[in-house]
Every structure is written in C-alpha cells, then in structure tokens.
Structure 1
Amino acid sequence: MNSGYEITMFGEFTISNGTEIITDQANRSKKVWTLLEYLIVHRDRSVTQKELVDLLWPGNDTKDPINTLKVLMHRVRSLLDELGKDSGKKMIYYKSGAYGWNSELNCVVDTEKFEAALKKADVEVDDKKLDLLLQAIHLYEGDFLQKNGTEPWIIQLSSQYRSKLMQAASEACGMLYEKGRYDELINICRHVVKFSPYEEEFYLYLLKALVKTQQADKAQEEYHRISELFYREFGITPSEELTAIYKEVVETSHMPEMNLEMIKEKLAEEPSAGSFYCEFEFFKTIYRLEARSASRTGQSVYIGLMTVMNAAGDALPNQKTMNRVMDALHDTIRRTLRRGDIFTRYSLNQYLIMLPTTTFETSGMVMERIKKAYRREFPNTPVLLKYSTTPVTPNEFYR
C-alpha cells in the first residue's frame, strides 16, 4: 500500500495517493464527510467515541449512538478503500474507545503547508518573505472545507484561515506594488476578492495596477462592477479614494487619436432599448451639465427620487428581497422613461431620475407612470413606492 497521501482542505476536500483520489464531490452522506474530515483535522490525537457522538448528533437524537457511530465508521472506511484494498482499516485505528488517524502515514496537507509558509514568512524579509506569502496565498483555493461549511467547528477554522489569508494578501500586495510587479498584483487581487468580495483594499490595488499596466478600459469596467456590488449589498458608493482613482482613469485614459471616425466608434453606445442607467458619479456630471444648460436657456430641469419601502414605511429588511425588487424596478424605469432620460441608483432602496424639460406637474406624472407600471407588472409585491420631485434652482448652478 502507498503510504504517501496528499490532502486538500481549501475548497474541494480530496485525498489522493498519487494514483487514486476521493473527493467530497462524490455522492456520500454529510456525516460521512464530517467524520472523516474531523479525524484528519485532529489526527495528532485520538478522538473519543463520546466526542464524535457529540459532534455528529449534538442533540442526542439517536437511540444507540455508539452502534450508529460504528456503522458510520464502516462507511468511512469503505470510502477510503477506494484508495486501495483495506486502506480504511490502515488509515483509521480504534483503540480503547477512541478513533484516530494513523500517524505513521505520510500525509501532506494544504492547510499545514499554508501555515508553514506563513510562519516562515514572519522571519524572512524582502523577496524571500514575498515568495513565501505568495506561496501561502496560492494554496488557498477555496474556503476551508467549504462544501461542509455549515458545521460550527468548520466555520470557526474557516474564519481563522480566511483572516490569515487577508493579512498575508494585504502585506503581499503592498510589496508587489512597491516592486512594480503589477501583473502579479492583479492576479493576487482577483484571487483574494473571490473569497472576501467586500475588502476595498484589494480593489484599490487592483485599479492602481490596471492603471500602471495601461489597462484603463478594464479599470473602468472593474470600478463599475465594484460600484454595483457595493450598491446591491450595502446601499453605498465606493470610497473617495477608490472614486478618485476612477476619475483619474477617466481623465487620463485616452492616447492621442487623429482619426475622428475611430473616436466616434469608441463613443458609440451599444444598441439598447429604454432609458440610460449610469453610476451615481457619472449621474452627477450629467446633472451639472444639464443645470448649466438650464441656466443658459431657461428650460426647467427636475429630478425625481423613487424610494422602495415596506408597509410600515421602512426599508425592506431582507437583502435578497430588496435586491429582487430593485432589479425589477430598474427594468420598469428603463422601459417607462424615454431613451434620452437618465437614472441612477442613489442608495440601497432608491433611484434618482433626471427629468429635463418638464414642469412640476409633468414631473409628478412621470413618476406616477413609473409607479403604476411597476404595480401593473408586479401586482403581488408587498412594497410601497414613494416618490418626490424638485426643480433644479439657479443657485445650484454656481456652487
């Protein structure tokens, strides 16, 4: 029997002997995987039957827990037999009322390699330190035992590992940026935000690196994606620092181009129906242009605010419901307004709409039309739509 095994616990749980492999993608019961994973994580000691019973049946909801445990252990060993004849008995021992993982087996585990790399990085400097940090980061291919991630003991360890990943990545990103290794920095940032998508630090590094590598278009796309993500989850815009980088990209991204037809192609909008949706920062710019134009021509400009509430007049408490309603309202606004009209998401439960060349009466009629269109399309949605409109006044033009 091969005594050497590679075990992965970040992301997909696997055990391989170099020839055969078992994986948690196989159709086995959750308790089989929980028992096997627990024994491997605690393979430096014997685990009593009582501890395993408390782990697997915390409410003592089985009549004969010891025999039930024996049956479950038989299933675990049968699973391990897929790695070779009698592998299960050789890999898991029983002694004096306790089970344990055979410590004589040569096992290489990704979580231990991760910890070892970080420990070495603590005492190294410069390139050696950076190499070790990157090695640890690349080992993190998913959250700890993520398929079984609802188990309390797994949640705790998963949180600890992710915290260590974030700390290592923060340090590594700073070093990569200082050394001008921007392509690697981009890859690391994209890797890390898959597991912690709301850490703005890594988006800052990502945008900076995209700018440094002259990928202005990708930097703009990334900012728009981040902005939408933060709106959907928290009802907030990206930080001033992130927005400042975006503005710098917009202002400096274009190389000299002498062919006006080529410039027109870049400016052209993709074919689409309905009104124009944009991020709030862009909406502010258009608003100011409209305000200046209205100041010169005397034409009226109104803005409308549409707010989603529950029956009590509060924001919807369920985030998924809120996102579903806001997505539906987005489509309604886009279809109801004219193609030349503009709107943006202002907060978690609000849309802001620009209404040029309207009066107070007609601005209210437009907002009422949106409200009725939404009610017609989604009559059973338990939400209230409240709106208000206000004119852009001359004093605002020169602030």
Structure 2
Amino acid sequence: MEEELKICTLGKFELKSNDVNITEGIKLESKRWELFQYLVTNKHRSISQEEIISVLGLDENSDPVGSLSSLVYRLRNTLKEAIGSQAGDYIRRSGNAYTFNVEKSFWLDIDEFEKACELTNKAIEDNSDDWQESFEQILNLYQGDYLEEAHLCDWVWNARNYYSNQLVSTFNKLAEHLTHQNKYEELWDYYTKVNQLIGFDEDLMFGMIETLLRMGKVGFAHQKLEELIEFFEENDLIIPLKIKVLKSKFPKNNSDNPGLVLEEIKQSLEEEKAYICPPETFTDIFRLEIRRSSRESPPRFLSFFRIDGAYDETILEKVGNNLFEMITKQLRSGDIICRWNNKQIIALLTGLDESEIEKVMKRLYNSFYYLYNIPEEIELKKYFSEIEGKSKK
C-alpha cells in the first residue's frame, strides 16, 4: 500500500513515510535531493530544463540534458523504493519542463505553517483568544531556517527570508495584542521562544527590551540593550535611531566628578543635529519652558506631526520611523525632538518667529511625501503652537 509522503523543510530536510525517516543516512547534499528541494520550493509552477540545469550547475557537464534525465530517474527510484510503486509520480514531466505533482497525496510543513499563520492573524484581528493553538503550531513547525542545510544554494534565500519574515510578522501582531492586554509575562515567554528560532532580529530584540521595561526589569533590559549595541558595534553596523532613543530612557551612571559629567553633556550637544529624548524627558523640558515663558524670552514653538490612516500598526510604525528619521536629520542642533508613540512626533523649536515656523513645517511636510512612497490611505497631519499661545493649523 502506498503511503503519504511527509516533507519537512523548516530546519533539517526530511522525507517520511508512515513515520519512517526515509532520508536518514542519505547524503542530502547530492544533486538529486537538491532537485527535489527545488521542485518542492517552486511547486506551483512548471520549471524548464534550462532553468534546472542552470540552478543545479549541470551546464558544466558534457551532456547537461542527459545528466538531468539521469538525476530524475534516480530520484524517482529512490522514492519508489521507500514509498511504493507510484511514488515516482511525485515528479512530473511535461514537454521540456518538470514540476512537483501537487495532485498527489503529501504533507508539507510550510503549507501547514502558512495555514497556522493565517489562523493566528485572523484570531488577533477578531480580538479573539483563539490564537493560542495555531501559534503553538507555528512554533512546533518552525524547527529552523527553511532548508537550513542548503545554505550554499543561492536560490533558497528568498524562500528562507519569506518564511522567517512570516513568523516575525505574525508574532509582532501577537506581541501588540498581548501588550494591549498587559500580558507581559506571557509575551516575554513567547519572545524567548521566537528569538531562539530566529536568532538575531533587530525588531525582536527591541521588543524584548521594551517588554522587560514594562515588566519593571530595568536592569535586565539594560543588559539586553548593551548586548544589542555591542552586536552592532562589533559588526561595524550603524546603530538604528530607535535603539539610540531607547538607550536614552535608561539612567546614566553618576560620576564622582560633576565636571566630567557636564563636559560629556556639552560634547554631546555640540553634534550638528537635534536632541532626541524620550517622552518623560520631553515632558520635563516642556515644564521648564512653561516656567521660562513667564519671563521675557524669545518665542518657542511646539510642532506636532501625526500619522493617520487605515493601515495596520506595522505599516504605520514603519512610516513613523521614516518620518522621525527625516525630521531628526533636518532640524537644528538647538531643537528638541521626541517620538511620543508610533504615530506622533513632537519637536520644540526655538529662535524662530511664526512665519519661519510655518516654512519649516511646510518644508518637512513636503520632504516627507517627496522622499517616501506613502500609501494614499495614510495622511500626515501637522500643526504648531507657541508655548502659552494659540494653536496654528
């Protein structure tokens, strides 16, 4: 009796029949298995002989077409021996093209993985708690990178990135869902599990640190942040702006010499860019400016940018990141800027009159739409107000 073929691709590549691992002890780096993996990866299209010959590097052989035919023959025989007389039908030929026969009975982990992602996303969108079972299935199925042993094959990288991004994207939605419910302990457990599966991911690390802060574990969060910054520095990578902003939320170590501390602050302020600070610091600065406004002093303005639209939080956050980075680069060193949340940015501008502020706001607004491809459904709203003055649209 012919058994259903079970194909595992997330992590170690395995073929199973009736719970028997038929690839155990076989050299999986051979061309026949690379052929099988390529056909499975591209199972929804017919693949020409020329494409397969090029991908497998058979074009260097004296008879590339004959070499491919021989590979197909040996692969079909291997499947027949393990599964049954009709197993060779998994590899179908039509003219000068080959395809994986999706009409045959088979189980494929990436198909189940995608179904579980869809169920999880649907439950979260419905604000339901029915996501647990499907998300646990995602974690059980994702045993590692897609075809992790085929790391030398260029063609595998697109599929590998696709499935890892799908995992991260689904988890980011779940993380937002649990954050809204203040379930930080549960969220931290999932962060740990997903991080073990994915390895280094900037967004995951950032989320882990923010979750630790919400849990009140400041010391542990600071340790994780330092590890993240060290990774960027050791690999000569530019530290992302959001990581720098996150770092500013942590208190700095006091020094016995206040002069040294003040000198460090002075040197940091000499950089030709706006001062970035978290909402707590910005609030303190605003309180100070309110006090100063009672005395005779130059005008000071608060400028507000808000992103509105019917997009999910992931898209809005990305748009917000672009806006924040652009404003930070274009403001002056004496200005103060704060990323209040994913959708709102506030800046304190000094030394300008009302007409000059209007020009600055218009320039930032136009630059944003010029530099980035913003979906029509997303709208950038802007306004400013003089401290202790009236709001100006």
Structure 2 length as normaliser, TM-score? 0.54
How does 1:28-39 map onto structure 2 within 5 Å? Answer: 28-39=28-39
Contact 1:77-1:87 at 8 Å conserved across structures: no
Distance 1:108-1:84 versus aligned 2 partners, 3 A rule = closer
Taking the aligned partners of 1:245 and 1:138, their CA distance within structure 2 comes to 36
Distance 1:138-1:220 versus aligned 2 partners, 3 A rule = farther
Contact 2:41-2:159 at 8 Å conserved across structures: no
2:246 aligned with 1:242: yes
What's the secondary structure of 1:180's corresponding residue?
A: coil
Task: Give CA-to-partner distance per residue, 1:182-217, whole Å, 9 cap, x none.
Answer: 343223323444536241x32233234345556566
2:292 aligned with 1:289: no
Taking the aligned partners of 1:241 and 1:23, their CA distance within structure 2 comes to 50
Tell me which of 171, 175, 179 is aligned to 2:177: 175
Taking the aligned partners of 1:106 and 1:85, their CA distance within structure 2 comes to 13
Pairwise CA RMSD of aligned residues?
3.6
Taking the aligned partners of 2:249 and 2:199, their CA distance within structure 1 comes to 21
Distance 1:40-1:96 versus aligned 2 partners, 3 A rule = same
Task: Give CA-to-partner distance per residue, 1:239-298, whole Å, 9 cap, x none.
Answer: 244325554xxxxxxxxxxxxxxxxxxxxxxxxxxxxxxxxx6xxx36x32456999xxx
Distance 1:173-1:135 versus aligned 2 partners, 3 A rule = farther
How does 1:1-399 map onto structure 2 within 5 Å? Answer: 1-23=1-23, 26-57=26-57, 60-81=59-80, 83-86=82-85, 88-94=87-93, 96-121=95-120, 123-124=122-123, 125-127=126-128, 130-131=131-132, 132=134, 135-136=137-138, 139-194=141-196, 195=198, 197-199=200-202, 201-211=203-213, 218-234=220-236, 239-244=243-248, 246-247=250-251, 285=253, 288-290=255-257
Contact 1:117-1:135 at 8 Å conserved across structures: yes
**How many angstroms does 1:57 deviate by?**
2.6
Contact 1:133-1:172 at 8 Å conserved across structures: no
Task: Identify the range of structure 1 (71-80 vs 86-95) with the bigger mean alpha-carbon deviation.
Answer: 86-95
**How many angstroms does 1:111 deviate by?**
1.4
What's the secondary structure of 2:107's corresponding residue?
A: strand
**How many angstroms does 1:35 deviate by?**
0.2
Structure 2 residue runs without a partner (length 5+): 263-393
Q: Which amino acid aligns with 1:242?
A: L
Distance 1:5-1:127 versus aligned 2 partners, 3 A rule = farther
Contact 1:130-1:175 at 8 Å conserved across structures: no
Contact 2:29-2:150 at 8 Å conserved across structures: no
Contact 1:210-1:218 at 8 Å conserved across structures: yes
**How many angstroms does 1:37 deviate by?**
0.7
Distance 1:2-1:176 versus aligned 2 partners, 3 A rule = farther
Corresponding position of 2:325: none
**How many angstroms does 1:174 deviate by?**
1.0
Corresponding position of 1:372: none
Q: Which amino acid aligns with 1:116?
A: K
Question: How many corresponding residue pairs?
Answer: 256
Taking the aligned partners of 1:291 and 1:236, their CA distance within structure 2 comes to 30
Task: Give CA-to-partner distance per residue, 1:300-326, whole Å, 9 cap, x none.
Answer: xxxxxxxxxxxxxxxxxxxxxxxxxxx
What's the secondary structure of 2:60's corresponding residue?
A: coil
**How many angstroms does 1:155 deviate by?**
1.6
Taking the aligned partners of 1:128 and 1:24, their CA distance within structure 2 comes to 39
Distance 1:10-1:184 versus aligned 2 partners, 3 A rule = farther
Structure 1 length as normaliser, TM-score? 0.53
Distance 1:189-1:234 versus aligned 2 partners, 3 A rule = farther
Taking the aligned partners of 1:171 and 1:294, their CA distance within structure 2 comes to 41
**How many angstroms does 1:147 deviate by?**
1.8
What's the secondary structure of 1:160's corresponding residue?
A: helix
Contact 2:43-2:99 at 8 Å conserved across structures: yes
